Amino acid sequence: MNMIEFRNVSKIYENDTAALKDINLVIKKGEFVFLVGPSGSGKSTFIKLLIKEISATSGTIFIAGRNVCNLKSSRIPQLRRNIGCIFQDYKLLSDRTVFENIAFALEVIGKPNYIIKAQVPQVLKLVGLYNRMDSYPHQLSGGEQQRVCIARAFANRPPILLADEPTGNLDPATSEGIMKLLSRINIIGTTVVMATHERSIVNAMRKRVVELEQGLIIRDQKRGVYGS
């Protein structure tokens, strides 16, 4: 089953810079895909298009078989509930504990309290932070904060997980831990798309690699490495 499909997708920003040019790409359910390339190559645009933070200038994007380009703005929240997102800067709320940060994400999509109380500890166990539930983000290390971010993205069990430079601020040892976690999430059936420009991580994982350069796909390789 095709989880994500780009058909002739282009994105031209208002200042006439083309971030993506005529992209055709299929990502199947349960795949783990690295999106590599230098900054400005279109990785972030790719991810923003998927969560419809921006709209494609031309072409069609299908997610789980549904065309999301003509999605009404009132349907966007529904789309985003099916896509977990993690970031380089974690985007955690500093005035809330780990538990509250994850609970918040479930609360705002209308999950009832009893489900939140059951799901949050569960997902914290998955990321290995069960005993840090009551800590505040500033009391955690970078790696731990990224785990909270992953827990929040995954709490609702979305079929797709997008990661935009998740290890950008972490040292190699910590990054390895994060990658193990993402692998585990991938193994239980989640489609993972990760944008990165860290060579060692890509090389160690031996997953599908899609390389972008100036808005074009210049390489799509199964079990690939960073540089060709």
Instruction: Please identify which residue in 17, 57, 66, 107 interacts with other proteins, judged by CB under 8 A.
Output: 107
Residue 160 engages other proteins in binding (rule: CB under 8 A): no
208 touches 223 (CB < 8 A): yes
Instruction: Please identify which residue in 108, 114, 138, 173 interacts with other proteins, judged by CB under 8 A.
Output: 108
Question: Is 36 or 150 the residue whose CB approaches other proteins more closely?
Answer: 150
Instruction: Please identify which residue in 66, 91, 199, 206 interacts with other proteins, judged by CB under 8 A.
Output: 91
Q: Which residues, in sequence order, are bridge partners of residue 4? A: 27, 63
Q: Which stretch binds other proteins (CB under 8 A): 100-108, 173-181, 201-209, 216-224?
A: 100-108
For residue 197, give the 3-state DSSP assignment: coil
Residue 208 engages other proteins in binding (rule: CB under 8 A): no
Give min distance, CB of 109 to other proteins, in A: 5
Give the separation between CA 225 and CA 134, rounded to whole angstroms: 39
Question: Is 91 or 180 the residue whose CB approaches other proteins more closely?
Answer: 91
DSSP state of 93: -
Q: x/- contact string, 174-203, with other proteins (CB under 8 A)?
A: ------------------------------
Q: What angle do CA 126, 128, 131 make, to 5 degrees?
A: 120
Write out the E strands in the chain. Answer: 2-12, 18-28, 32-36, 58-63, 66-67, 83-87, 160-164, 191-196, 208-213, 216-221
SS3 content of the chain, % helix, strand, coil (to 5): 35, 30, 35
Angle between helices 113-127 and 172-187 (to 10 degrees): 130
Question: Is 109 or 115 the residue whose CB approaches other proteins more closely?
Answer: 109
In the range 32-71, which residues lie near other proteins by CB under 8 A? 51
Residue 93 engages other proteins in binding (rule: CB under 8 A): yes
Max CA distance (Å), the chain: 50
Number of residues that bind other proteins (CB under 8 A): 22
Residue 171 engages other proteins in binding (rule: CB under 8 A): no
Which spans of this chain sit near other proteins (rule: CB under 8 A)? Answer: 51, 73-74, 76-82, 85, 91, 93, 104-105, 107-110, 152-153, 156
